[in-house]
Structure 1
Amino acid sequence: MLASVGALTLTGLLRPVPATAASAAVGTVRLDNMPVALRAGTTQVVTCNRTSGYKARVAFWRLVDGRWRSEFSTTDGRIGYGGLVSPGSRRQGSGTTPMGTYGIPFTFGRWNRSTAWRMPYLTMVTGDYWVLDNDSRFYNRFRKRSSGGFTTAGSEHLVDYGDQYEMSAVLDFNYASPVRHRGGAIFLHVNGRGATAGCVSVPRVMMGAVMRELQPAAVPVVTIGAG
């Protein structure tokens, strides 16, 4: 029997997938009928599979004894109100969620770091922003207002979204070499009242489980699509 807590299924909702030689290192594996571009050493994956409208099935996978196993999942995942878009076509302010596979550079939230969380973590406070000023050299980066170098208009004051960003993981969309006007601030975070503005969101209980499970040594990635 599958054990559930709210909208979170805690064991094996999705059938385990045998790992190929490539899927244990760099390569591609199909999880929930979507191609996942693995990085060297990846043994943890979050898949976000759009089902209808802004709803999505989101699952947490782990490579165990050569097989990819879904450890917990939800059918109450959310994407942007603008739907899915190819990453190169995305425009800032469109409410679209970029398809593809993304790493997690760090996590953040409104609480002090839990001893159960192993990923790099920042506690957000008043004055912490995600820069979306297209003229700033800090575009698509976390930055404190006191540090300067950007305008707050159009940037996200993170504590204004305290419920959604209570626990959050940053996705490295448009991150390494940011393209202006393509947008940023794409996170995995807690559900709000409806669609997101481009992020992926899940019920609070699942986001808590994700935060506890993620670990840097597993080189976790998040794949977004419609399988």
Structure 2
Amino acid sequence: MPGRFHTALVLAALIGALGAAPQSTADTAFPLPHLMADTGGGDQLITAVALGPSHTAGTLTWWERRRSGRWARVGSAPARFGTNGLVEGDSRTQGTSTTPSGLYDLPYAFGIEPAPAGTSYPYRPVGADSWWCQDNSSVHYNRWVEPRPADCAPHEAEHLITYPQQYARALVIGFNYAQPVQGRGAGIFLHVDGEGTTAGCVSVPAEAMERILLWADQEEDPHIAIGSATGPLAVTRY
């Protein structure tokens, strides 16, 4: 949601909660979402927390706010991040293999495989002509295109179907999405694990991705908060 405002989740104040194992965090008096300055306004939240700003591994947890107003942990899984760690979303540069920290919406899901039976979240199937444009000169920058338009060079776009493992199922992360800034980055997703670290996305095991898609409810306005367990890195809302 670019241009609205900046909110800070000062991670230094959250080191204890973020650094704890998911089971411990769920049982503390103050689950992580209760410590955040902003959770996006909805009743569903995903937190993706790297061990530190330069780390490539951490934990992804999904939460829901109950009628009492209290956040409860629904599930968690090991997560992977960009090869070069995390960086503030508003200062990220495309092609740096960094994961943008921040609080983002989740516009829709997509995948090469069908959506899990029972999925209610908007889900777009990947076909042979499905591309994600990352060409800074294109009017379609940071958008799904099908077929690929002439102003989006093939070497500056991601042919989604060529990643059968990672894009078996995925959620679009709304980083640099509503009002894209050229050069900041494109194609940041929550997707299934590949063989190692990511080029800037967040990834989880396939089973966890399936569980998240079955849980996610667009009417609950889910968001994802990406940050680290240590250091001054702040979660910034766009």
Shorter chain as denominator, the TM-score bin is: 0.7 to 0.9
Relative distance call for 1:18 and 1:81 in structure 2 (3 A) is same
Go from structure 1 to structure 2 and tell me whether the alpha carbon gap of 1:36 and 1:111 turns closer, same or farther (over 3 Å shift): farther
The question of whether the paired residues in 2 share the 8 Å contact of 1:80 and 1:199 is answered with yes
Structure 2 unpaired stretches of 5+: 1-21, 230-238
Match of 2:83 in 1: 81
Structure 1 residues 180-219: aligned runs within 5 Å: 180-219=182-221
Does the 8 A contact of 2:114 with 2:125 survive in 1? yes
> How far is 1:222 from its partner?
0.4
* Matching residue of 1:68: 71
- Distance in 2, Cα, partners of 1:147 & 1:119: 27
1:89-128 matches, within 5 Å, as 89-128=91-130
User: Offset at 1:71?
Assistant: 1.1
1:14 to 22, 25, 31: 25
Aligned residue in 2 for 1:37: 38
Counterpart CA distance in 2 for 1:123 and 1:15 is 34
- The residue correspondences of 1:43-54 to structure 2 (distance < 5 A) are 43-51=43-51, 53-54=55-56
Say what the alpha-carbon RMSD is for the aligned residues.
2.1
Q: Does 1:176 align with 2:187?
A: no
Equivalent pair of 1:105/1:172 in contact (CA under 8 Å): yes
> Structure 2: how far apart are the matches of 1:146 and 1:62?
37
1:60 and 1:192 map into 2 onto residues whose CA distance is 21
Name the residue aligned to 2:58.
56
- Give me the TM-score of the superposition, normalised by structure 2: 0.80
1: distance between equivalents of 2:181 and 2:87? 16
* Higher RCO (CA-CA < 8 Å; seq separation 6+): 2
Fraction of identical pairs, as percent = 33
Give the letter for the 1:39 counterpart. Answer: G
- Asked whether the 8 Å contact 1:30–1:36 carries over to 2, the reply is no
* Structure showing the higher strand proportion among its residues: 1
Structure with greater helix share of residues: 2
Deviation at 1:30, TM superposition (A): 4.2
Report the alpha carbon displacement of residue 17 of structure 1 after superposing the two structures with TM: 6.9
- Check 1:13–1:127 CA distance in 2 against 1; reply closer, same or farther (3 A cut): farther
Q: How many angstroms apart in 1 are the aligned matches of 2:204 and 2:174?
A: 18
- How far apart are 1:36 and its partner, in Å? 5.9
> Deviation at 1:16?
5.3
CA contact (8 A) 1:12 1:71 kept: no
The alignment status of 1:161 with 2:172, answered yes or no, reads no
- Deviation sequence 1:104-148 (CA, Å, 0-9, x none): 110000123444111111100112110001100000000013554
Partner in structure 1 of residue 6 of structure 2: none
TM-score by length of 1: 0.83
Cα separation, 1, equivalents of 2:122 and 2:147: 21
| Structure 1 alignment gaps of length 5 or more | 1-10, 20-28
Change (3 A) 1:15 1:68: same
In structure 2, do the counterparts of structure 1 residues 223 and 176 end up closer, same or farther at CA, with 3 Å as the change threshold? same
